[in-house]
Amino acid sequence: MTDRPAAAKSHQPDPHVRRILERAELEGVELVRFLYADHGGVIRGKAASRSRLAERLTTGIGHTVAMMAMNMLDQLQEVEHMGPVGEVRIVPDPATYVPLPHAPGAAAMLSDLRRIDGSPWDACPRTFLKDAVADLATEGYTLVAAFEPEFTLGRRLPDPAGGPDRLVPIDDSLCYAGTGFDTAHDYTIKLVRALETQGLRVEHYHPELGPGQQELSVRHAAALRAADNHVLYRETVRGVAMRMAMWATLAPKPLAGQAGNGAHLHLSLWDDTHNVFADGGELLECFIGGLLAHLPALTALTCGSVNSFRRLSPRAWSSAYAVHGPDNREAAVRICSPLGETGEPNLELKPSDSSAN
pLDDT at residue 166 is higher than 80 = yes
3-state secondary structure of 280: coil
Q: How confident is the model at residue 191 (pLDDT cuts 50, 70, 90)?
A: very high
Which residue ranges form the domains of the chain, and what is each CATH number? 3-119 (3.10.20.70), 140-349 (3.30.590.10)
Q: How confident is the model at residue 11 (pLDDT cuts 50, 70, 90)?
A: low
pLDDT at 12: 56
pLDDT at 357: 86
Better-scored residue on pLDDT, 278 or 15: 278
Average pLDDT value over all residues in the chain: 92
pLDDT at 2: 43
Q: How confident is the model at residue 9 (pLDDT cuts 50, 70, 90)?
A: very low
pLDDT at 273: 86
Cα 122 from chain centre = 20
For strands 331-336 and 321-326, give the pairing.
parallel
Q: pLDDT tens for residues 105-118?
A: 999 999 999 999 99
pTM above 0.75, yes or no: yes
Length of the chain measured in residues: 357
